[in-house]
Amino acid sequence: MRFSRSFPPYVAPSTSVSGVMRGVLVAMIPGLAAQLWQFGPGVLVQLSIALVVAVAAEAAVLSMRRRAIVPVLRDNSAALSAALLAVSLPPLLPWWLTVFGTLFAIVVGKQLYGGLGYNPFNPAMVGYAVLLISFPKSMNHWLPPADVAAYSLSWGDTISAIFDRSLPNGLTFDALAMATPLDTVKTRLALHESLDDIQAAGSFSRLAGKGWDWVNLGYLIGGLWLLRRRLISWQIPTAFLGTLFVSAMLFFLIDPARYPTPLFQLLTGATMVGAFFIATDPVSAATTPTGRLIYGGLIGFLIFVIRSFGGYPDGVAFAVLLMNLAAPALDYWTRPRVYGHSR
């Protein structure tokens, strides 16, 4: 009797880089759908611009480096960076700023360091931080969410606003824009108003940012799916959200007139997309189990500090980038002990 022979490796890998990236992109669909519902077609326009620019930029750099283009593009990492950047941008951001931010993310944040696996920072957050620091006014021109908006823009109006900077019916961008709930709370608390006064004015709900709660719930659903599929580990999002919740609860109990509820912190801004999709980047995050817990916990704490005492209303990007710097040290000091050897 003759037997067929097989050759190593004998265990087929359950996932690949392209498969993981593709899975994360799929998991973003509920949150992206919620953003489209709340903020209109500008979300998809920004996503389309970022995807085209990211793929073209990566192909151009690979060509200049005389590297194979198609295999690298197939890993879907450029598309994921573009998607994470696009969903972080205001829907009516001028097209050239989206192009600039995406170019910076791919060329400087990723390829300058050697490509996927070598970049010390999350590329999408590098592009976002550069835009926020360089063009703060444009980056704060968010549309009011559908839950509180008195009007909506059509596809044609949206495209004209993004590419021609023209609005219908004599509208201006300053009149059309609305501060995010986090920005509203930070600005009006600085004027010594209480949260009860701000809520009475209809600017936000004590439980969550109006409209933003649906967006965060959408990304929470996608994040839980990632955990179920084991495409990300549980340590980072759990420590991230747990530390943010505990920090917010502590200060809320001390002074509820000046510190929003923990639920407001969790369901506003980029909290859920940060916890499940940005902080869990396998390249720039910590990799040991203990290191991931510390990494995620410190990101959550930094977000609360920046939101409550810093100069920016959200802080997810800056917290992630700061902890990207600390990830190698965390991995070094939390390495599991090799059996038979001292630490």
Q: What's the pLDDT score for residue 206?
A: 58
Q: What's the pLDDT score for residue 12?
A: 47
- What mean pLDDT comes out for the span 178-200? 74
- The enclosing H or E element of 161 equals helix 155-163
pLDDT tens, 8-48?
A: 554 445 578 888 999 999 999 999 999 999 999 999 999 99
Distance from C-alpha of 29 to C-alpha of 334, rounded to nearest angstrom: 35
- What mean pLDDT comes out for the span 86-115? 95
pLDDT tens, 269-296?
A: 999 999 999 999 999 999 999 999 999 9
Distance from C-alpha of 71 to C-alpha of 129, rounded to nearest angstrom: 29
**Over 80: is that where the pLDDT of 330 sits?**
yes
pLDDT tens, 44-68?
A: 999 999 999 999 999 999 999 999 8
| Residue 284: burial class (beta carbons within 10 Å; 0-12, 13-18, 19+) | buried
Distance from C-alpha of 88 to C-alpha of 19, rounded to nearest angstrom: 23
Distance of CA 31 to the CA centre of its chain: 11
Which is nearest to 138 in space by CA: 161, 118, 156? 161
Alpha carbon distances (Å) from 236 to 227, 300, 315: 11, 10, 17
- What mean pLDDT comes out for the span 201-229? 84
pTM reported for the whole predicted model: 0.90
Q: What's the pLDDT score for residue 18?
A: 87
**Over 50: is that where the pLDDT of 4 sits?**
yes
Q: What's the pLDDT score for residue 188?
A: 76
263 close to 213: Cβ distance less than 8 angstroms: no
Distance from C-alpha of 296 to C-alpha of 300, rounded to nearest angstrom: 6
**Over 50: is that where the pLDDT of 97 sits?**
yes
Alpha carbon distances (Å) from 281 to 194, 276, 311: 37, 9, 26
Distance from C-alpha of 270 to C-alpha of 219, rounded to nearest angstrom: 9
Instruction: Name the token pair of 211.
Output: 């409209």
Percent residues over pLDDT 70 in the chain: 89
Distance from C-alpha of 328 to C-alpha of 331, rounded to nearest angstrom: 5
The more confident residue out of 147 and 2 is 147
Helices (H), the chain: 17-27, 29-39, 42-64, 70-73, 77-86, 95-103, 123-134, 136-139, 155-163, 173-176, 181-190, 195-200, 212-228, 235-254, 262-266, 271-273, 289-309, 316-333
Q: What is the mean pLDDT of the chain?
A: 88
Phi, psi values for residue 192, rounded to 5°:
65, 30
Length of the chain: 343
Query: DSSP code of 284?
Result: T
Query: DSSP code of 336?
Result: P
